[in-house]
Every structure is written in C-alpha cells, then in structure tokens.
C-alpha cells in the first residue's frame, strides 16, 4: 500500500475538532472534497461538511462524524500506524468515505452525498439536522468496526435521575434515610433488569444498566438522594417503555428523563447494500462478519426517519475509541477504501 494516498486521512486527523470546535476541520474537509472532484462541497446550516458526487435520481448518503471527544494526541505515523485524536472515532471512517467516493467518481443515475456531521459525541445535532434534509435510497454510517466487518445494529439509550425525598429526622431515630431508600430503589431496578435478562443469550438483546452517579444532601426540613441511572436498550424496548417501567419500580419517587433518549435500531441483513459490501470485503480477501454494538451511533438518529437499507462501516478498532493511544493501521484504512469503492460500484452498477 506504499503508493496509496493517505492525505485525506492524515489531513483530517490533523485538524483537532472536539465537539463544539469543528469549524476548522469542516472547512478543511470541504476544501479537500472540492480538490478531489466532488461536484459540490459546502457547509450546511448545521455546520456539517457536505460533499456531493453526481446528480442521479438514486441517492446514497454516507454519514460520518467530524467531531471527536476532547484530548489532543500528537499526530504522527509510526510503524504503519497513524496516531491522533479521531483517527479511529470517527475521522478514519469519514476520510474513507471521502476517498472511496472520489475513486468511484460519477456513476450514471446515482448521487453520492458524503457528510461529516458535527456534535455526534454530544447530542448529534448534525445528524438530527440531516435526518430532515435527505431521503436516501441507501445509507452508510461511518463508525469503526474494522475493514472486514459491518455493524447492523446499535443499542438505544435512556438516562434518568431518580430522586428520593424524606422528611428530616434525628440520626438516632432509626428511621430510613433518603440515601437508604434510594439504595432500595436501585436494588429493585437491578432485580427487574436481571429478571428480564435471565433468558437472553446475546448482549445486544439485553437491558444494560449502569449507576452513573449518586449524590445526597439535606436542609433543615428534608433530605434527598439522587440516582443517575443509565440504560442501554435492545430493539424491542423503546425509551418510552423503559421510562414507564422505571416510574413503576420507583413507586412514587421522582423520575426525570435526562438528555436525549435514543431508540435502538437493527438493520435488515438481506439488502442490495449488504450484498455489495459482502462482495467488496471478499474482493480484498476478507471473510465478512456482522456485528451488533452495545453503544449508540448516528444510525439511531437517521435510520428511523429515512427507513432505507443501511449499514455501519469503517476501518479502525473501536476498542481504541476515546483512548489516549488512539491510532489506525494505514494498511487497514487502504483496504477499507477499496472495499467501499467496490461496494459502491456494485451497488450502482
């Protein structure tokens, strides 16, 4: 792969862009897409970088994200590995989209739209905007899952604060404190989740519960304790369903949803898009594999709106997401670009 052009990848990773500070990277990517022959490249009203190749009636949207978590990492290449914040999550997949579409070029009757979305690591503002702007025939979401794998599902999420309040009592009274009552609520939540999960063999099908924090305080008249409850949801449990159940378990204590709740999403496996990727992976000597992820992605935002065949694809080891050692193999990146190029050619043939 010594003659492979890694300028898109290295250049994009070199633009440090934590959520809320993406503008410089967006401007760089728009300029890069123009130089690679995209018919149009621009910054949309949400601040996303958008590149368009072709004007056909059939549309493929390739949605990656250009923001990263905070924590700048010195950008360097060592032993065939590119180190830098976002090299894996998810500028590697986004750069792969750009390079592959540039390689494929204009295909008669088709339009490829590459989007580098902002704010994915926070509230997915970029994806929420484009969900209402496009109605693609096929969607490819950029997240790292290794060059020979496709992700077909991401779990949903729903966060909540559960607050227990009790009247102030003397510490020698022996009466239950708000903190003690909150622990009892937590144990009931956990017991319910354990019961539901008992007959589930796949992690993707389970409720994944976390206690994200707990605090308590008091004043002259009352005491309170708050549980910060996190839940990763399977496809069959909507955030609304979970909040109803949580209120039932809390039995009168105050339950407050926190942040954006996101439903889980599973992609259809038997589609022309999946078959195109199977062919592309095999063309590079790979044995295609499917994965289902326990996190959430912009797939969860756009797929329920677009309702079209979708997959999640991108080079990189997701175990390196958000780590101080984040890096991507240049050889793997090059393979992923070829895989995606071949998939797009087959899809649009």
Whole-angstrom distance, CA of residue 326 vs CA of residue 192: 37
Structure tokens belonging to residue 310 = 């979708």
- The whole-angstrom separation of Cα 148 and Cα 285 is 9
Instruction: State which H helix or E strand residue 310 sits in.
Output: strand 310-313
Residue spans of alpha helices (H) in the chain = 7-13, 23-35, 91-104, 125-131, 178-197, 239-250, 272-283, 299-306, 330-347
Q: 294, 297, 320: which is closest to 310 by C-alpha?
A: 297
Q: Give the residue numbers marked as catalytic.
A: 67, 120
Respond yes or no on whether the N-terminal peptide bond of residue 324 is cis (omega within 30° of 0). Answer: no
Distance between CA atoms of residues 157 and 242, nearest Å: 10
End-to-end Cα spacing for the chain: 27
109 burial class (0-12, 13-18, 19+ CB within 10 angstroms)? exposed
Token pair in block for residue 200: 């589930």
Query: Which phi and psi (to 5°) does residue 204 adopt?
Result: -60, -25
β-pair type (222-233, 208-218) = antiparallel
Strands of the sheet with 327-329, listed across from one edge: 76-78, 81-83, 327-329
Helix (H, G, I), strand (E, B) or coil at 289: strand
Instruction: Tell me how far the alpha carbon of residue 220 is from its chain's centroid.
Output: 45
Helix axes 23-35, 91-104, angle to 10 degrees: 20
């Amino acid at each position: 792969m010594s003659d492979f052009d890694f300028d898109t990848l290295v250049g994009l990773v070199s633009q440090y862009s934590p959520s809320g500070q993406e503008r410089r990277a967006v401007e760089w990517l728009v300029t890069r897409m123009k130089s690679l022959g995209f018919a149009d490249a621009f910054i949309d009203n949400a601040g996303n970088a958008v590149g368009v190749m072709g004007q056909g009636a059939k549309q493929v949207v390739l949605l990656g994200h250009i923001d990263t978590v905070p924590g700048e990492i010195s950008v360097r290449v060592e032993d065939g590995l590119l180190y830098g914040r976002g090299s894996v999550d998810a500028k590697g997949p986004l750069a792969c989209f750009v390079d592959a579409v540039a390689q494929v070029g204009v295909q008669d009757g088709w339009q490829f739209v590459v989007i580098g979305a902002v704010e994915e690591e926070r509230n997915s503002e970029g994806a929420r905007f484009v969900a209402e702007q496009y109605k693609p025939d096929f969607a490819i979401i950029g997240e790292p899952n290794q060059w020979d794998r496709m992700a077909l599902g991401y779990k949903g999420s729903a966060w909540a604060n559960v607050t227990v309040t009790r009247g102030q009592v003397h510490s020698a009274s022996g009466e239950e404190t708000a903190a003690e009552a909150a622990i009892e609520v937590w144990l009931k939540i956990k017991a319910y989740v354990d019961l539901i999960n008992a007959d589930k063999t796949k992690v993707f099908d389970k409720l994944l519960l976390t206690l994200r924090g707990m605090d308590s305080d008091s004043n002259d008249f009352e005491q309170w304790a708050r549980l910060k409850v996190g839940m990763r949801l399977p496809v069959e449990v909507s955030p609304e369903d979970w909040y109803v159940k949580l209120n039932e378990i809390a039995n009168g204590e105050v339950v407050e949803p926190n942040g954006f709740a996101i439903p889980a999403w599973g992609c259809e496996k038997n589609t022309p898009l999946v078959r195109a990727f199977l062919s592309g992976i095999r063309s590079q000597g790979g044995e295609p594999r499917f994965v289902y992820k326990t996190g959430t992605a912009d797939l969860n935002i756009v797929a329920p709106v677009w309702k079209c065949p979708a997959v999640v694809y991108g080079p990189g080891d997701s175990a390196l997401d958000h780590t101080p050692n984040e890096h991507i193999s240049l050889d793997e990146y090059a393979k992923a670009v070829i895989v995606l190029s071949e998939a797009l050619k087959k899809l649009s043939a």
